[in-house]
Structure 1
Amino acid sequence: MSASKCSRLSGALIEQLLDSVDSVLFDCDGVIWRGDQAIPGAAQVINRLKEKGKRVFFVTNNSSKTRRMYAEKMSGMGFNVSEEEVFGTAYCSAVYLKTVCHVEGKVYLIGSDAMRQELEAMGIPHTGVGADHIVGRQADWANVPLDPEVKAVVVGFDEHFSYMKMNRAFQYLSQRDCLFVGTNRDTKLPLEGGKAVPGTGCLLQAVETAAQRRAQTVGKPHRFMFDCVASKFGVERGRCLMVGDRLDTDILLGSNCGLKTLLTLTGVSSVADAEAHQRSGCPERQGMVPDYYVDSIADLLPALQG
């Protein structure tokens, strides 16, 4: 494996990397916390980076919380963080609808209450949150009442996802001028103890299969999530570091946006995974090879305490 990629970050190399960046983007779950527990040393790393004048942002594909909810969670773990520094897909999807799609009308939302709140904060009307129970027969389902003001279907994580919700989205998307947006394509949500549950990508693929249409997704690894940060805070690509635990989302986002990349081994992906991508010879998989890796972001702490 080339020494220029996927090098262990340690010693003087840490200081060199940190000196070369002004901004650092952190994924959340698996990087700064696992479940409801902070990664040991993570809060100290974040807080020391800020004390040294670095701008720190948090980018997560999880759409189950608002920016404020994430900031409150992190503050409770000892992180020095403000709501404006958090960029989740609930918020970014609302920004995308408002600034890129210029949606006029309502959104049919397959998603969480947090997504509802972020849409409302952007002044975007919506329908669909909560359970949608099966009633009648198949002929009734095909003629389910639709809101004529709906101009977009948005799919995020929804614990109430059902056949009827998929059907209703399908009926809206049968109208070719109806926009179709997904928060992310993560197929599973890793949990503590090696467990996992199906992720938003499973729900999105179900709707895409039914509608025979492909959604535009806003979460990692797509550039829009970085664009949200960069446009608001003037982040310079060449002096920005992306830190994450997943090669196919975090590291690929960094590669797609021309950022420096750092893999931490406290979450999903391993060095062996990165090496397999490097050996593959596939250009797309090459984008999932990080510049550096550490066992934990706590490995940065000695260089920050000097």
Structure 2
Amino acid sequence: MGGEDARHPIRARLSAASANPRPGRARRRAEPRLPPPNGRLLAARPPRPSANRRRVSPFPHRGRLSSSSSSVRRRQEAAAMAQAKQCRRLEPGLARSVLAGVEAVLFDCDGVLWRGEAAVPGAAEALGRLAAEGGAEGGRRRLLCYVTNNSSRTRGAYVEKLRRLGFPPAEPRQVFGSAYCAARYLRRALPPGAAAYVLGGAALSAELEAAGVAHLGAGPEAAAAAPEQEASAAQPPPGSRAPLDPSVRAVLVGYDEHFSYAKLCLALRYLLRGDGDCLLVGTNRDHRLPLEGGSAVPGTGCLVKAVETAAEREAFIIGKPSDYIFECVANEFNIDPARTIMVGDRLDTDILMGNNCGLKTLLTLTGVTTLEEVKDHLKSDCPKRKNLVPDYYVDSIADLLPALQD
């Protein structure tokens, strides 16, 4: 990273990006409104003057999801409704009644539609029948979308996996991964000619590239460039003196198998540089990724927390349970939250997002959550725990098949 070209690896692309408008700028639908650049500072550090500004809603002033006040009101209404949720089993008769008023169904993927490389038995057939049925208005096919926190796959990869496992054909615009939505966010948040320093892999880089967002740092390069030796008075820590690209105005943290101390140093230096207006964005807060057999590996949330701790700043989070990822879906398809159902296997991401956004929520027990966990939340007097309770549950998404028979 010592030469002039390495010091500014994306300068040529930035010049091209400045000369040509980024794709997707001319849109008829309003995009979600952006939050303030600095996020909220953590309690360990006295707030900077810039952090004392009123926090602005990141959502659009239009349509059903029209203003910051309506967003707050929707959350308040959702919190009140959460107190009455009972997590009822979605038996066939009840399922027919519930689905009759639904025009859009949002699915988490892993643990709901498939486990690893194997589809959940009956899931593909259930989605095929859901898509074939008319929605709430009866005059059009019901919309199916796929909303995932996984930033290690592109939308195209999800479309291919759905096809390979026998699910109904899907278009990339039906897939809302945290990598794509992060690219969508930065495309609007960054000023012309600015770039992002990325802690992430090839899929995150590909989505940024497709969105026209200049970036650097993705992959193993930064980690490989730093010598593996302990810091000392004579030898500074890896990454602490590497040249900084002057165009970087955001740090984006996703799933990064090559996360290292050198990358953490670079991320912190970008965030501390200048007047501190560098954005800090995380794809999701999932702290643990379950594996078959009961094991697990650390998730992206661990990496986000490391950067937040070093920077003493809270990141803006793209994925579930953040409202932002649902707002991306709502603005793409103009769907009505009251006629939308979120199907997931995690209470703290899928169900919480659905409840916060005023959607109906359906828990499947083919993933990480057990019914006993839900019952514990139901018994609690804590409003936050009550908000983790879904409207309905099924053992598997295939349990919907009797309600979808011709």
**TM-score, with length taken from structure 2:** 0.73
State the AA in 2 paired with 1:116.
Answer: S
Do residues 281 (structure 1) and 369 (structure 2) align?
A: no
What is the count of residue pairs matched by the alignment?
A: 306
Kindly report the root-mean-square deviation, in angstroms, between the aligned alpha carbons of the 2 structures: 1.7
Do residues 72 (structure 1) and 160 (structure 2) align?
A: yes
Do residues 56 (structure 1) and 154 (structure 2) align?
A: no
Task: Write out per-residue CA displacement over residues 101-120 of structure 1, whole angstroms, 9 at most, x where no aligned residue.
Answer: 55750100001101111101
CA distance in structure 2 between the aligned counterparts of 1:98 and 1:256, rounded to whole angstroms: 26
Question: 5+ unaligned residues in a row in structure 2: which ranges?
Answer: 1-82, 134-140, 230-234
State the AA in 2 paired with 1:77.
Answer: L
CA distance in structure 2 between the aligned counterparts of 1:3 and 1:237, rounded to whole angstroms: 18
Q: Where does 1:18-33 land on structure 2 (aligned, <5 Å)?
A: 18-33=99-114
State the AA in 2 paired with 1:164.
Answer: A
**TM-score, with length taken from structure 1:** 0.96
State the AA in 1 paired with 2:119.
Answer: A
**Structure 1 counterpart of 2:65:** none
State the AA in 1 paired with 2:333.
Answer: F
- After superposing on structure 2, the runs of 4+ consecutive aligned residues of structure 1 that deviate more than 6 Å are none
Whether the 8 Å contact between 1:130 and 1:160 is mirrored in structure 2 is: yes
**Structure 2 counterpart of 1:171:** 269
State the SS of the aligned residue for 1:108: strand
Higher fraction of strand: 1
**Structure 2 counterpart of 1:96:** 185
**Structure 2 counterpart of 1:192:** 292
**Structure 2 counterpart of 1:244:** 344
Label 1:123 to 1:303 Cα distance change in 2 as closer, same or farther (>3 A). same
Label 1:9 to 1:116 Cα distance change in 2 as closer, same or farther (>3 A). same
Partner residue of 1:125 out of 185, 192, 214: 214
CA distance in structure 1 between the aligned counterparts of 2:352 and 2:334, rounded to whole angstroms: 21
CA distance in structure 1 between the aligned counterparts of 2:248 and 2:237, rounded to whole angstroms: 22
CA distance in structure 1 between the aligned counterparts of 2:89 and 2:266, rounded to whole angstroms: 49
* Identity score, percent: 54
Question: 5+ unaligned residues in a row in structure 1: which ranges?
Answer: none
**Structure 1 counterpart of 2:258:** 160
Task: Write out per-residue CA displacement over residues 64-88 of structure 1, whole angstroms, 9 at most, x where no aligned residue.
Answer: 0000011001100011122111110
CA distance in structure 2 between the aligned counterparts of 1:90 and 1:58, rounded to whole angstroms: 13
Partner residue of 2:119 out of 30, 35, 38: 38
Whether the 8 Å contact between 1:107 and 1:125 is mirrored in structure 2 is: yes
Whether the 8 Å contact between 1:103 and 1:151 is mirrored in structure 2 is: no
Task: Write out per-residue CA displacement over residues 82-141 of structure 1, whole angstroms, 9 at most, x where no aligned residue.
Answer: 211111001010111123555750100001101111101111100001222323722674
State the SS of the aligned residue for 2:293: helix
CA distance in structure 1 between the aligned counterparts of 2:330 and 2:164, rounded to whole angstroms: 27
CA distance in structure 1 between the aligned counterparts of 2:289 and 2:363, rounded to whole angstroms: 18
Whether the 8 Å contact between 2:126 and 2:397 is mirrored in structure 1 is: yes
State the SS of the aligned residue for 1:142: coil
Whether the 8 Å contact between 1:97 and 1:103 is mirrored in structure 2 is: no
Whether the 8 Å contact between 1:22 and 1:55 is mirrored in structure 2 is: yes
Task: Write out per-residue CA displacement over residues 3-59 of structure 1, whole angstroms, 9 at most, x where no aligned residue.
Answer: 852011102101011012110000000000000000001111111111112110000
Q: Where does 1:190-269 land on structure 2 (aligned, <5 Å)?
A: 190-269=290-369
State the SS of the aligned residue for 2:289: strand
Shift of 1:146: 0.6
Point out the structure with max Rg over C-alpha.
2
CA distance in structure 2 between the aligned counterparts of 1:231 and 1:105, rounded to whole angstroms: 25
Do residues 271 (structure 1) and 371 (structure 2) align?
A: yes
State the AA in 2 paired with 1:161.
Answer: F
Whether the 8 Å contact between 1:104 and 1:151 is mirrored in structure 2 is: no
**Structure 2 counterpart of 1:8:** 89
State the AA in 2 paired with 1:55.
Answer: L
Shift of 1:166: 0.7
CA distance in structure 1 between the aligned counterparts of 2:390 and 2:397, rounded to whole angstroms: 14
Whether the 8 Å contact between 1:103 and 1:152 is mirrored in structure 2 is: no
Label 1:284 to 1:42 Cα distance change in 2 as closer, same or farther (>3 A). same
CA distance in structure 2 between the aligned counterparts of 1:266 and 1:96, rounded to whole angstroms: 32
State the AA in 2 paired with 1:41.
Answer: G
**Structure 1 counterpart of 2:205:** 116
